Amino acid sequence: MKAPGYTFILYTGLLASVLWSCKRVTQWEGQEPVKKVSTVTVPIQLQYKGIFDLGNGLYLSNTFEGARMNGVARINDTLINVLITPENSPINMSPWYAFQLWSDHSQDIYVKISYPEDAAHRYHPKVSTDGKNWLALDSATFQVSKMVMEDELVDKDLTMKLSVGPDTLWVAAQEIITTEHVDHWMHGLESRSYVTRDTIGLSHEGRPVSLLRIGESDDQRMIMVISRQHPPEVPGFLAMQAFVETLSASTGLAEAFRSKYTAYVVPLANPDGVYHGHWRHNKGGIDLNRDWEDFNQPETSAIRDFMKERTSSTGGKFYFGVDFHSTFEDIYYTIGPELEGNMPGLVPELIKASAQEFPDYTPNIKPRSGEEAQITSTAFLFFEFGAEALTFEIGDHTPRDFIRKKGEVSATKLMELMLD
């Protein structure tokens, strides 16, 4: 089931997707071990929103939910410069951008996306004529400049050619999936008798931290699913959708799973950040996935308090936990194999079984040792509740049909393994 109100980028078929996933000869090494940082609330800078008249009948807007555009100027007759800055710093390099363009008459223009000196380009542009159906912009229509940053050659600014006219053209780093879109998706799932929704807390700005309960068991055996701690990480959200829809399906396997296990899902852990088009942080100016030890932020605190209440009131256990994210390439961050939780071996078996469904696909796995800072959701799920935990990372440019298939297969294999 796809959420009402939006669809996804079109890529080539599944076979091409699998071949794409295998093209790298040597696997990406992943991110460095996380370090503990302060998660006490700090100020952020909100963008000025408006409709900007750029002359010659051309207009730009950032007045919609999820927009990010911090400054715009016409350079010459055909070139527009758009400035993209973060909500605060220091910050992970996830420069989200999203804006609308239209013109009184048809014209071709060039739009340059510029970032601060210490920021690098990451997301290649997607376009839409309705804000619902998205296409990746043809690589022949944009160029990315290079710069040396910390002794590494990285992408810097992007310049793209666009054809605009009276109809609105949406331009964004990824598909725009807003809090409203997520609400519609949850509402669709709620039509099933075994799916209910609750609000377990409020964000800084009072938006609900919503939770889905999927199952018909007595909560003695539970799993936890989290997504969208980081606003731009839409590919991870798409994988989570496919994963959850498979758990919720009207299949014999899913019905058997729901009779024994309850799945709890927080599909949008950072609603304020998504609403404001943030690069990474919440309204408190904090990376939520560094706040799973100190719990200074209301969103992480809400999830912690809910999980503690469930285990305390029911006497049940969380056997599995997964947090969906996006990064440069597909990778799994796991708990070190020497550490055992409530269902030892589940995560390695899940990754292996899932990979077998994709010919020639070799999963990229990076275990985290118990000596690393225990400040992420995955560490919290494992060390606090004994849940076999996994950070499920999807590449920024992974084809969408492969993302969906990977989410579906992962859920199917998880149910099979946990019922075995």
* AA letter at 164: V
Residues 230 and 291 in one domain: yes
Please confirm whether the linkage preceding 90 is cis (ω < 30° from 0).
yes
Residues 409 and 307 in one domain: yes
208's tokens: 């609900």
Residues 152 and 185 in one domain: no
Q: Is 186 helix (H, G, I), strand (E, B) or coil?
A: helix
Residue 151 lies in a domain: yes
> What range does the domain containing 344 cover?
179-419
* AA letter at 345: G
Residue among 230, 242, 213, 208 at smallest CA distance from 282 = 230
How many CA atoms are closer than 13 Å to the CA of 251, on its beta-carbon side? 13
Residues 211 and 127 in one domain: no
The pTM (predicted TM-score) of the whole model is 0.94
Residues 101 and 225 in one domain: no
Query: Domain containing 132 — which CATH number?
Result: 2.60.40
Strand (E) or helix (H) holding 399: none
Residue 16 lies in a domain: no
Degrees to nearest 5, angle at CA 214 with 211 and 220: 100
Residues 239 and 264 in one domain: yes
Tokens 């008459």 correspond to what residue? 105
Residues 130 and 228 in one domain: no
12's tokens: 């080539």
65's tokens: 């939910």
The whole-angstrom separation of Cα 96 and Cα 35 is 23
* Domain count across the chain: 2
Alpha carbon of 274 to those of 17, 178, 231, 278, 280: distances in Å?
28, 6, 5, 6, 9
Residues 189 and 141 in one domain: no
Residues in the chain: 420
Residue 41 lies in a domain: no
The whole-angstrom separation of Cα 321 and Cα 333 is 12
Residue 34 lies in a domain: no
Q: Print pLDDT tens along the chain (420 aa).
A: 444 444 545 443 333 344 444 445 578 888 888 999 999 999 999 999 999 999 999 999 999 999 999 999 999 999 999 999 999 999 999 999 999 999 999 999 999 999 999 999 999 999 999 999 999 999 999 999 999 988 889 999 999 999 999 999 999 999 999 999 999 999 999 999 999 999 999 999 999 999 999 999 999 999 999 999 999 999 999 999 999 999 999 999 999 999 999 999 999 999 999 999 999 999 999 999 999 999 999 999 999 999 999 999 999 999 999 999 999 999 999 999 899 999 999 999 999 999 999 998 999 999 987 777 789 999 999 999 999 999 999 999 999 999 999 999 999 999 999 999
The answer to whether 287 and 198 are in contact (CB under 8 A) is no
Residues 262 and 397 in one domain: yes
Residue at a domain's end among 139, 172, 205: 172
Residue 219 lies in a domain: yes
